[in-house]
Structure 1
Amino acid sequence: MNIDDYESLPTTSVGINMTAGAIAGVLEHVVMYPLDSVKTRMQSLTSASNMNIMSTFQNMITREGLLRPIRGASAVVVGAGPAHSLYFGAYEMTKEMLTKFTSLNHLNYVISGAVATLIHDAISNPTEVIKQRMQMYNSPYSSVITCMRDVYRKEGFKAFYRSYSTQLVMNIPYQTIHFTTYEFIQNKLNLDRRYNPPVHMVAGGAAGACAAAITTPLDVVKTLLNTQETGLTKGMIEACRKIYHMAGPMGFFKGMTARVLYSMPATAICWSTYEFFKFYLCGLDRDQYKSSITGRSELQEPRKTAYVLPKSTTDEDPSLATESLAVDTAAGTLKDPAVLHPTPPTVNAAGAIKTVCELSTRTAAPTINLHTRHTEVKSPYERGFSST
């Protein structure tokens, strides 16, 4: 590993990434849970869903009590911790590993996001079912345990994973858009991956808003499969048919505004919390901290430096100073070659032939072409070496 590869490595460990991810996931879902309840209600196919965000929220409080918008939050607290812990841990590990096999940063983000989603959704899908059943209008469930027991008794264990395939179809593009957008903004505003709260919040909010808007139709399908409010719906195709039959083409965009307004601050909170605890737990100064693999190779131009060594001066007095210059092509300055390449005291300066080598500061530097020829060089014994 060369020095550029070493300096590009993050300064955090897997344990720190997983701990920070668990805290970020719980905080994100708890803070934004009331708006998530409103989004679920607005995606419902019942007549109660024909209201805007504020009307839906007010209707929940006036008819069902002040605490109604946060019913089912305990299920999210239990599921979000381990789900987001493995989610961020898998993403960071996969992203770092793939840098050894590909230099295409966007492909790296897509694959890493897909791997993280597979693990996250396998853990979070049962909690999504419980949460959304408790969020629906006229829900008969008052506690997480009661809901879980009733669903298992009536529909079996497969009910907790009925929407898993749909959730993957939705979340894989969601997370690839999410991570790619976040990393893109990071590469523009925070290339060195330092701890920068404003950039983390802006990048996280923009990533969540873009991903949420594009994947709203699949979220509506997932909500129907989780809630089963129109009778038993077995799969994604059947759910699409019911949505189209009952609400038309626009039914697939129900609750999109609420979903974007939920995802934008939620992802901003999640990323800023995640980056804060990564920085805090690693115990390093801000100048020494590097949060993750950077996109340096994609955004920076390679820098080349040409070094010109002393040229032949056979017709001149050897005692005279060598008249040559070292040119730094990147900085555009002239430097004294005696500082860079001083002439050894035992070698005749008149016998040195001009040598040029081009070096690159890129991570994968080209082979150095170095051709030298020395004349009138004395034998080792004549230069003072012992004959023994």
Structure 2
Amino acid sequence: MSEPKPLPFIYQFASGAIAGVSEILVMYPLDVVKTRQQLATTSDYNGTIRCLKKIVAEEGVSRLYKGISAPILMEAPKRAIKFAANDEWGKFYRKAFDIPVMTQSLAILTGATAGATESFVVVPFELVKIQLQDKTSKFNGMGEVVKHIVKTGGPLGLYKGLESTMWRHVSWNAGYFGLIHQVRTLMPKPKTSTEKTLIDLTCGTIGGTFGTMLNTPFDVVKSRIQAGSTKYKWTLPSIATVAKEEGMGALYKGFVPKVLRLGPGGGILLVVFTTCMDFFRSIQKD
């Protein structure tokens, strides 16, 4: 199957930004539930529906969207970097290894490298989001969180949790883009735009689900590190601590809302991204 014509970075960036904001507007409440479950050391927030009801009953519907300003500001550069870096690293590796078309192993390597690149952009936004989503948070908005972090830890304090964020994004992107490539090779070539959309939605959902299965343990400890606990500092020792004290199942806290978001969310991302890229290609032709 021939690969689509590559576009300049600015088109990839814009397509990724539009895709990211579209996904966050639809799926954000599930991210709040996921964070609550990951931070909880008791069974108070077990069950996705139960957790949603508990938050709404005790804190109001608006709480499901608290902290969304940080992700909205983050999603444009985050998703733009995700897809643009994946495309650019793909070009680099194909040239470096003299491979004319993408292979699955190259897709995994490219995705992992794009994930590492993306991590440097998203850490400050993730840190602010986690501290706003925590039930014990006393902050009312992004500005208060940033001011507190810089005051207590300096500008570099905004990069707390960088190492765990890299583990999270490298594993998710490697699984996401690697599986998308594999699933696409098994799919029939689309004959209509509707078929193409359905294939993209299927590939993206499967890739998002698999990426979530890989990276949830890293996401659990990242949330705890960024929430401010002094008990968790580095990723692998923190994973061992959680498993020892709470059992292996605790490493998958928040998995259901996370996979409900990032499975279909991965499909939404891919559909919107490829639709935007096709639109930009049509403009270039004209």
TM-score surpassing 0.5? yes
Q: Say if 1:61 and 1:283 are closer, same or farther in 2 by CA, change over 3 A.
A: same
- Match for 1:14: what amino acid? F
In structure 2, do the counterparts of structure 1 residues 188 and 244 end up closer, same or farther at CA, with 3 Å as the change threshold? closer
Measure the CA separation in 1 of the matches of 2:244 and 2:103: 42
| Pairs within 5 Å for 1:208-247 | 208-228=208-228, 230-231=229-230, 233-247=232-246
1:11 shift after superposition: 5.3
Q: Which amino acid aligns with 2:239?
A: C
Larger helix percent: 2
Following the alignment from structure 1 to structure 2, what is the Cα–Cα distance between the partners of residues 263 and 152?
Answer: 31
Offset from partner CA, 1:133-175 (integer Å, 9 cap, x none): 1111121111111111112222333332221111212321221
Does the 8 Å CA contact 2:218/2:235 hold for their aligned counterparts? no
- 1:273 corresponds in structure 2 to 272
Find the aligned partners of 1:39 and 1:221 in 2 and give their Cα distance.
Answer: 13
**1:152 aligned to 2:128?**
no
Greater gyration radius:
1
CA distance in 2, matches of 1:8, 1:120: 24
**RMSD after superposition:** 2.6
| 2:22 is aligned with 1:27 | yes
Q: Does 1:129 align with 2:127?
A: yes
SS at match of 2:137: coil
Displacement after TM superposition at 1:237 (Å):
4.2
- Which letter does structure 2 place at the counterpart of 1:47? T
Match of 2:93 in 1: 98
Q: Deviations over 1:246-294 (max 9, x none)?
A: 4122211212122211111111111111011111222269xx9xxxxxx
* Pairing 1:119–2:117 present: yes
Deviation at 1:224, TM superposition (A): 0.8
Q: CA deviation digits over 1:350-378, x for unaligned, max 9?
A: xxxxxxxxxxxxxxxxxxxxxxxxxxxxx
Query: Which whole-Å CA distance do the structure 1 matches of 2:198 and 2:181 have between them?
Result: 14
Q: Distance in 1 between matches of 2:147 and 2:205?
A: 36
Aligned 1:175-186 pairs, distance under 5 A: 175-186=173-184
- 2:183 and 2:3 map into 1 onto residues whose CA distance is 18
Whole-Å separation in 1 of the counterparts to 2:140 and 2:29: 16
Q: Check 1:282–1:227 CA distance in 2 against 1; reply closer, same or farther (3 A cut).
A: same
Q: Cα distance 1:162–1:269, how it changes in 2: closer, same or farther (>3 A)? A: same
- Aligned residue identity for 1:52: G
Which consecutive residues of structure 1, in runs of 5 or more, have no partner in the other structure?
289-388
Paired residue secondary structure (1:67):
helix
Cα drift, residue 88 of structure 1: 1.2
Task: Check 1:14–1:30 CA distance in 2 against 1; reply closer, same or farther (3 A cut).
Answer: same
The structure-2 alpha-carbon separation of the partners of 1:53 and 1:9, relative to structure 1 and needing over 3 Å to count, comes to closer
**Alignment partners' CA distance in 2, 1:241 and 1:179:** 28
1:263 aligns with 2:262: yes
CA contact (8 A) 1:186 1:193 kept: no
Distance 1:249 1:232, change over 3 A: closer
Please give the per-residue CA displacement for 1:83-125, whole angstroms capped at 9, x wherever unaligned: 2222211211222343341266122212221221122110111
Matched, 1:37 2:35: no
Instruction: Point out the more displaced range, 243-252 or 168-177.
Output: 243-252
CA offsets, 1:320-353, max 9 Å, x none?
xxxxxxxxxxxxxxxxxxxxxxxxxxxxxxxxxx
Corresponding residue of 2:83? 88
CA distance in 1, matches of 2:81, 2:240: 35
Q: 1:251 maps to what in 2?
A: 250
Does the 8 Å CA contact 1:18/1:88 hold for their aligned counterparts?
A: yes
* Aligned mates of 1:117, 1:75 — CA distance in 2: 19
Structure 2: state its 5+ residue gaps. none
Greater RCO, CA 8 A, separation 6+: 2
Between the aligned partners of 1:207 and 1:189, the Cα distance in structure 2 is: 14
On the 8 A contact 2:205/2:262 being kept in 1, the answer is: yes
Q: Per the alignment, do residues 190 and 123 of structure 1 end up closer, same or farther by CA in structure 2, a change over 3 Å counting?
A: farther
Identity %: 20
Q: Give 1:86's aligned amino acid.
A: I
**CA separation of 1:240 and 1:124: change in aligned 2, threshold 3 A:** same
Give the Å deviation of 1:12: 3.3
Aligned CA distance change for structure 1 residues 138 and 95 (closer, same or farther; 3 Å): same
Which of residues 155, 167, 172 is equivalent to 1:174? Answer: 172
1:206 partner SS: helix
1:274 partner letter: F
Q: How many residues align?
A: 281
Letter in 2 for 1:176: A
**CA distance in 2: counterparts of 1:256 and 1:215, whole angstroms:** 10
Aligned residue for 1:110?
108
For 1:107 and 1:83, the matched residues in 2 are separated by: 24
Please tell me whether the aligned partners of residues 206 and 264 of structure 1 are also in contact (alpha carbons under 8 angstroms): yes
CA 13–223 in structure 1, closer or farther in 2 if over 3 Å, else same = same
1:245 shift after superposition:
4.7
Instruction: Flag the 1:186–1:88 CA change in 2: closer, same or farther, 3 A.
Output: same
Q: Distance in 1 between matches of 2:43 and 2:134?
A: 10
